[in-house]
Structure 1
């Protein structure tokens, strides 16, 4: 977008430095601020595409740094170790997201609603942040790596949550979805699940291709429906 500003976005947790991106419409009045936690590739073209949708909805967007030091993997061979790092250090992901949210609040007028939107591994981090008692207007997961609460982690989430998943997702199969539904119900959380049939993991990513036998499969129909659901949820939780 020619009328969009994109700048580096720095924050830190202790000695660990993070470098994300901050995107905004020049001269626009933001109705919300969104931390976008991307899939394993970080600040990729796909993440920027997702950010563009949010900008059009009236958001200031921070694309978070998932791994620290501004590292953005370039090879699929890196996905395993990097995602394992996130899974083995879930508390660190929460701390980093909390720092990102607080830094983003400095970029918008006081009282601006702040939300988090996580894709794939970023969705796991976003939900864990919600479990930490995060004071945000909403949390959205799309084609997420779904995990129930880790040992010692609270299950109560203050914010409303929207979870958008495919029924054929091999990364987060229906068993994982069912376990998460149970956890959310027991905790009394305000969560809605949108399930898309014949839809796999990475259904939002055109680069995944459309081979129905693959582990990652793009679905333009589900991707469109997810964007519509995100827009509707954003309008609901930010209305005054």
Structure 2
């Protein structure tokens, strides 16, 4: 177990590290390709966003990305492209259904309530996206990790509770309000929790509870807490959130490199 908190003195080295990683990957990313992949969960049509370097030959590690409550917003597409620049195939999966993009917060709330209230459906949608990613010809199905943002973090927790064969999962300001000790025992890979210490959506009591359960289940996990930071720091609105946004990218890159041996 590793628990880390923000250290302002190391911010410069963090930023330089992620810049070096992105620049290094960018040199080999001259042929980045994006495409929509249609698939189904039961009778529901879904369509996910695939990003990869078309110049790379053979199968390679991949990241399943679970979007936040905005679905396939411009920010979501940009996040997928950013992660792909680290050298991975990235598949932003579809939870809401093909063509369903909420236009405002009330619509977002209505949509995520459906899945928050029906965790079996949430898990089925998440697993369908994982299967769609594994089916891509450029993907090494034995080297897949996942990342979820906000609602996607919650969905990702549900996914790893199924025992899905992921080498690692990152929750970025996710929620853990229905996490159980029994489900924790099913987790196969490593877990990284990136969280704002002042998050009102998933407060520290909730974080402490999930950490206790991960410890009891002997899950290999890390927790990075960002001081003075609330929810949604990947869309920063304050200086502390700007720092957290920079630092989470470094932590993400390092974690994926470790678990995928990339």
TM-score (normalizing by structure 1): 0.89
Determine if contact 1:165/1:194 at 8 Å carries over to the other structure: yes
**Greater Cα offset, 69-78 or 169-178:** 69-78
Q: 1:171 to 1:74 in 2, by over 3 A?
A: same
The corresponding residue for 1:93 is 122
State which of 209, 212, 225 in structure 2 corresponds to 1:195.
225
2:222 pairs with 1:222:
no
**Relative contact order, CA 8 A, sep 6+: which one is greater?**
2
Deviations along 1:126-145, one digit per CA (max 9) or x if unpaired, are 11111111111111111112
Q: Indicate how the Cα distance of structure 1 residues 76 and 109 shifts in structure 2: closer, same or farther if over 3 A, else same.
A: closer
- What SS does the corresponding residue of 1:219 show, helix, strand or coil? helix
Counterpart check, 1:7 vs 2:7: no
Number of aligned residue pairs: 231
TM-score (norm 2): 0.82
Q: 1:17 aligns with which of 39, 42, 45?
A: 45
Q: What SS does structure 2 have at the residue aligned with 1:24?
A: strand
Matches within 5 A, 1:59-138: 59-107=88-136, 108-138=138-168
Stretch moving more, 94-103 or 196-205: 94-103
**Which residue number corresponds to residue 214 of structure 2?**
184
Q: 2:258: which partner in 1? A: 236
* Residues 1:150 and 1:85: Cα distance change in structure 2 (over 3 Å): farther
- Cα–Cα, structure 1 residues 150 and 68, in superposed 2: closer, same or farther, change >3 Å? farther
Deviates more, 1:102-111 or 1:13-22: 102-111
Tell me, which stretches of 5 or more residues in structure 2 are unaligned? 1-28
What corresponds to 1:47 in structure 2?
76
- Say which of 166, 173, 178 aligns to 1:148: 178
Contact 1:137–1:160 (Cα < 8 Å) also in 2? yes
Q: Retained in 2: the 8 A contact 1:148–1:183?
A: no
Structure 1 segments, 4+ long, off by >3 Å, are: 109-112
Q: Partner of 2:169 in structure 1?
A: 139
**2-side partners of 1:28 and 1:221: how far apart?**
33
> Which SS does the other structure have where 1:113 is aligned?
strand
**Alpha-carbon distance in 2 for matches of 1:91, 1:136:** 19
Task: Using the TM superposition, give the Cα deviation of residue 234 of structure 1 relative to its aligned residue in structure 2, in angstroms.
Answer: 0.6
- State the secondary structure of the residue aligned to 1:102: helix
Alpha-carbon contact 2:48-2:94 (below 8 Å) kept: yes
Structure with higher helix content? 2
Give the C-alpha shift of residue 150 in structure 1: 5.9
Select the residue among 162, 176, 191 that pairs with 1:161.
Answer: 191
Considering only aligned residues, what root-mean-square deviation do their CA atoms show, in Å? 2.1
